[in-house]
Every structure is written in C-alpha cells, then in structure tokens.
Structure 1
Amino acid sequence: MTNLNYYKLGGSLEYKHPTYVVRQADYALYEGLKNGDLCYVLNSRQMGKSSLRVHIMKQLKEQGIQCASVDLTRIGSHVTPSEWYGGFVSELLRGFGLSRKVNFGTWWRSQEFLPPKQRLSELIDDVLLTEFSGKVIIFIDEIDSILRIKFKDDFFAFIRACYNQRADNSEYQRLTFCLLGVATPSNLIADTNRTPFNIGRAIELTGFKLNEIDALIRGFEGRVARPKAIMEEVLKWTGGQPFLTQKLCQLICNSSYSFLEHQEKQCVEELVQNQIIENWEAQDEPEHLRTIRDRLTQNAENQTGRLLGLYQQILHQGEIPADDSPEQMQLRLTGLIVKQQGKLRIYNRIYAEIFNQAWLDKILTNIRPYAQMLNAWVNSNFQDESRLLRGQTLQDARNWAADKGLSDLDRRFLDA
C-alpha cells in the first residue's frame, strides 16, 4: 500500500486495516461485552463508532462468541411496526448465519397471532438462545435513525426488559446488546411515563492521542523527514478527531510540500489553511464540516437558538462547566464541542477557525429578526434602552420566538 492510498476517509475501516487506531474504548468495550454488560457507544458522527464495532465483533468471534450486527438504516424509518420488526428479525437471522436453517417468511407468518415486538422475543427465546449454547451479542448500529419513529420507545424498553429478564431467567445472562449511534441515553426512551433507559455501561470514545497512533505515523515514512514531528502538528490542528486526523494525514501524503526538517509547523499550517479552512464548504469532501454545521443550525427539535447561544458562551469564554444538561448533550452530539476535565470546549483548532465569531454572527442574524437591535444592546453593556423592542415590534418578536428554543440572552432581551 503506497502513501497515496494508505489512509481511508469515510465508512468503516475493515478488520486489521493498517490505519485502525486502538483506543481505550477498544479495551473497555471488549471487556464489557465479554463480561455480559449491556454497552452503548453514543457519540457524534465520524468518531469511529462503526469501525470500533467491526473490530470488536471480529475479536469476540475469534473467542467463539456468537455476534451479529444490525444497521438500522437498512430497515428504514417510514415503516409500520410489523414491517420494522420483520426487517430486524430478518437481519438477525442473516447476521447469525441462520437464514438457511430458519426460513424467515415461514417463521414470521407462523407468529402472526403475536404482536411484532413479541415475535422478536420469541425469536430470541426459541431460536437464538436455543440454537447457540454460549454467549450471544447483538450489535445495533445507527440507532439515531429510528429516534423519530413512534414505536422506538417500545423497542428500547424491550432491550431493557431483556436485560432485566436475567433476574428471572438465567438463559438471558448469555444475551447482551451493544448500541451505537448519535444519541443520548435519554433519547432512547422519551416517554416520561416509562422508566428511562438507565441501564448498561457507557463507553467513552475519545479522540486520538499521540501515544496511540503509531499506525498513522507509519504512513508518513519515506514521505516526510520527521514523521512523528509532523503528526504532532497534525494533532495540534485536529485535536485527535478521527476523521479530520485521517484526512489531514492523507492531504500531507498527497501534497507537493517537501516537509523539510524543522519546517513541519509552517508546512502543516499552510496545508490546513489552503485545503481545509479556506472556502471550506466547497472543499469539504467527504462531507464532515457541513454535517456539523447542519446539526447545529437545522436542529429538528427547534433548539437551534439555544444551541447557538450555548456555543456563543463557549466561544467567548473558551470553556464552560459541563453539567450534562439536554442542551449541552445535544451540542456535544454535533461534534463541535468536546467534554474534557469537566469542561466543554471547542473540539479543535480547525473547528474554532471555521465556526468562529464572524460565522456565528452571520447565522444568528439569519435566524433572529431583531439581531441588529440585540447586538447593539449587548455592545452597550445592556445599558442602551433605546435598543429594546417596544409595542407591536416586541409582540411580533415574541410571537416569532414562541416555538423557538432560544438562548438565555434572547430571553433576557425580549423580557427587558
């Protein structure tokens, strides 16, 4: 494999790919699942969740443990409960290599007298735990793809019920699940009348650290004078974010820069500015930065104002205390912000230079009909009352804000 195609951008890394980086999460997930823990890896996009799944599944299978993975995007979300659970059961049979032994169509029709969720329960009892005598692990990837379907609470409640079943049925101690996706535990069961999804073990998936990435440094050999020095500069820009780190490594290998000794800082900075930051929306291939932008500015729960307000605090202060509030968790899932030592910070220097104050001001101006007046009021240190809205203008602004998740600053301005 040449330097030009050593690194891989987008998609899962196949087992033992030369650039796969083993992190603490690998050890934690492997041990957790081997011990029978229900584990979940919930994080922002392009952090390596699916690649982690591929590698841990292979390792567990090599230990004789039965594993199957279901990618929920293969089933879809515009389906009836019967269609969805049918798709899930079909994927399980295929994943466990039972499609020839158990004819899905025949088996599914034989269970028609049962509700769809109960049919899944029958499959686990009568097929999986009967066919296999050892441990059985079901990986469920891309769980965020079903967060908006009406019956998703039932599905995650079912997983919790399987876990709780261990107390009454020892056979269920052989079964466990691993959930992966862009979500928080509170997203899984939203109905406040149900018990929340408060079981299992969270696996923290962090960015790459210098002492973990010899596999990535090897791609520079023969291409640059000092591979480790180049990688140190890479991490200063990417903060170890997996996708960005792979991308910058690939750009370095494909570039015309000479990367002479002791010129690493200057060369890497020029490359980042020219090929990532400048005109970033056009250069963002495969898409990464635009995904972050869209998750922040096109929030489906009308929380855009609050997320932008929270981000503005971090931008101004450098960091804020992490309290794991719903707003903070949603902001972290954009990938723009990371939690470190109990603080929320911008993940890396590339994000900070792209999603800067000028970018934020432009976005806020577009979503607030009163942006100019608010900014003038803030610039006066909240003293210039002539900038406050009055009469019908204030009422119109409040009507506009009624269904928006606005920041605390917006509320303060409209209530002043």
Structure 2
Amino acid sequence: NKLLRWFCASVTRKLQLESKLNEYWDEDIGSIESCTVYFQDYLLSITDNLIVLAIDEVDYIFQSPEIANDFLSMLHSWYGEAKEVKLWQKLRIVLVKSTEVYMAMNINKSPFNMGKAIDLSPFTLEQTQELAQRYQIELLPQEQNQLMRLLGGHPYLVNTTFYYIKCHNASLESLIKTSAADTGIYSNHLHQHLQNLQQYPELKTAFEQVLRTVAPVELEQVLAFKLKSMGLVVQLEGNLVLPSCDLYRRYFYSVFFGI
C-alpha cells in the first residue's frame, strides 16, 4: 500500500498535477485497485496527451518477490486494458532492467512478455572508441583492446569507466589493476551479480563450471539461457558458453575458488 501510494504521488508530481490520492484511494478495494482507479479516473482522464511511464532499474523490486508480483501484475493488467479501453491507450510503459526475472511468477501476468523487448548489445570496438571521444579521452590501440577484453563491451561498465577516468583524472592502467577488487569502481555491479547467483544455487553451480576452464562449456539449455540473460556469459554454438568478459572471470573465480 505504501509503495503504490508513493508511486502514484511521484507520477502526479512529475506531471505537475495536484495530488488527489485521498480522494481516490479506497482501503476497502485494496491498493492495486485504488492505484488503477487513480490512473484511470484521474491521471489519464485529465489530459489529452500521451503519458510515458518509464521505470528504470526495475531489478531492485525483485528483491521483494511478493511486492514485485503484485506490482508487475498490475502493469501487465494495464497493458491488457489498453487493448479494449481507449483511455488506457494514452499510457506508454517503458521498463528498464539489467537481468532476467527468475522469481515464481505467472507468465500470463508478467509485463516482460508484453509489447516490444529491446536488448542492448555489447559495444563494438568502434562504439567504444566513439564514447571515449565524447568523454574527450584518448586511448592508445593497446588500451582499447585491453578495455574490450576486460569488459567485453558491456555498455554500463564501459560508460562507468570513462566517467570515472574523466572525473578523477585516473589512468586506465590503474583501473584495470583494481578492476576485480571489492573496492574497485565495478564493485557494486559485481556484488549485485554475486547476490543474484547466491539466490539461485543452480545458476551459481553452472557458472562455477564455466569458470573452471578456459574452453567453452556446454550447459543445460535453460541454464545457458539464464546466465546469458544475466550478461554473465556469451553463448556460442548450441549451449556452449564462455564468461562474457575477463572482469567476470577474474572476480568470480576469486570469490568462488579463493584464488
């Protein structure tokens, strides 16, 4: 209830409208229905313009499966309403996430199987060079190759690298040396992946298997798909996989095997 009231209040403020939560909220029908009524009878009814509801880092809500189930199911129902109710066609929902959802959730109620999915591919060497130029950072060809091996073109990590170099006048060499450390600039990202793996032992075991050898490893199809969806591996022919970058290999090998 508290989350959905905050959600409605935040959207109302972004739209620069007067809050009317108390007018539309009804404890007898529950928070999900109250939130839906608030959007339908107030926010969507008061404007003729499209409303784009963009939610970044949806991953964080996965840490509370019960809340996530209710909230994401509500968004799915709104998408369904747009097929029959013209008013709901004014709402556009954009969800941004960095990992797959593995919690127990009815696939028919998940918002991630609706609309159009857009995967952000790894940066190519040319795209990485272009981003460096936008940050006004000059990298030698050798440094460019080192960065590609370390990060595999991961867009978020590449951008994090250039941002840090620009703001702290740091060298790429120093970042590479501390990249897999718990105090390095990638630590939050790595810790989040570690937490996800610890929540799903079958994925952790499968990834450990991948880390034990430098050769491609064949996994069960579902495990290969999930690890790839998390960005931890690249999938080659069939279900053969490799770690997607040296950063993941170095960090997780150290964590899992103590070396």
* TM-score category, normalised to shorter length: 0.7 to 0.9
**2:91 aligns with one of 170, 175, 182:** 175
RMSD over aligned CA atoms reads 3.4
**2:42 aligns with one of 110, 127, 130:** 127
| Alignment correspondent of 2:218 | 320
Residues in 2 aligned to 1:283 and 1:211: alpha-carbon distance in whole angstroms: 26
TM-score of the superposed pair, with normalisation by structure 1: 0.51
**2:60 aligns with one of 130, 138, 145:** 145
Larger radius of gyration: 1
Residues in 1 aligned to 2:40 and 2:176: alpha-carbon distance in whole angstroms: 57
| Alignment correspondent of 2:75 | 159
Offset, 1:217: 3.0
| Partner SS for 2:203 | helix
Offset, 1:360: 3.5
With a CA cutoff of 8 Å and minimum separation of 6, indicate the structure with the bigger relative contact order: 1
Offset, 1:240: 1.1
| Partner SS for 1:154 | helix
Residues in 1 aligned to 2:34 and 2:60: alpha-carbon distance in whole angstroms: 22
CA contact (8 A) 1:139 1:178 kept: yes
Change (3 A) 1:212 1:322: farther
TM-score of the superposed pair, with normalisation by structure 2: 0.76
After TM superposition, the structure 1 = structure 2 runs for residues 186-335 of structure 1, keeping only pairs within 5 Å, are: 187=103, 190-192=104-106, 195-197=108-110, 198-213=113-128, 214-219=130-135, 221=137, 227=140, 230-249=143-162, 250-251=164-165, 253-255=169-171, 271=174, 274-277=177-180, 280-284=181-185, 287-296=188-197, 298-299=198-199, 303-304=200-201, 306-315=202-211, 316=213, 317-320=215-218, 323=221, 325=222, 327-328=223-224, 330-332=226-228, 335=231
CA contact (8 A) 2:24 2:37 kept: no
| Alignment correspondent of 1:355 | 252
Change (3 A) 1:237 1:176: same
| Partner SS for 2:66 | coil
CA contact (8 A) 1:236 1:349 kept: yes
| Partner SS for 1:202 | coil
Stretches of structure 1 that go unaligned for 5 or more consecutive residues are 1-81, 256-267, 364-416
| Partner SS for 1:137 | strand
Task: Tell me the alpha carbon deviations over residues 174-194 of structure 1, each in whole angstroms, 9 at most, x when there is no partner.
Answer: 22211223553564xx355x7
Residues in 2 aligned to 1:144 and 1:152: alpha-carbon distance in whole angstroms: 9
Change (3 A) 1:156 1:132: same
CA contact (8 A) 1:322 1:328 kept: yes
Q: Does 1:102 align with 2:5?
A: no
Offset, 1:204: 0.5
Task: Tell me the alpha carbon deviations over residues 72-127 of structure 1, each in whole angstroms, 9 at most, x when there is no partner.
Answer: xxxxxxxxxx22221221122112221xx3343x4245x44432111112122212
After TM superposition, the structure 1 = structure 2 runs for residues 51-70 of structure 1, keeping only pairs within 5 Å, are: none
Residues in 2 aligned to 1:156 and 1:219: alpha-carbon distance in whole angstroms: 37
* Equivalent pairs, count: 249
CA contact (8 A) 1:136 1:174 kept: yes
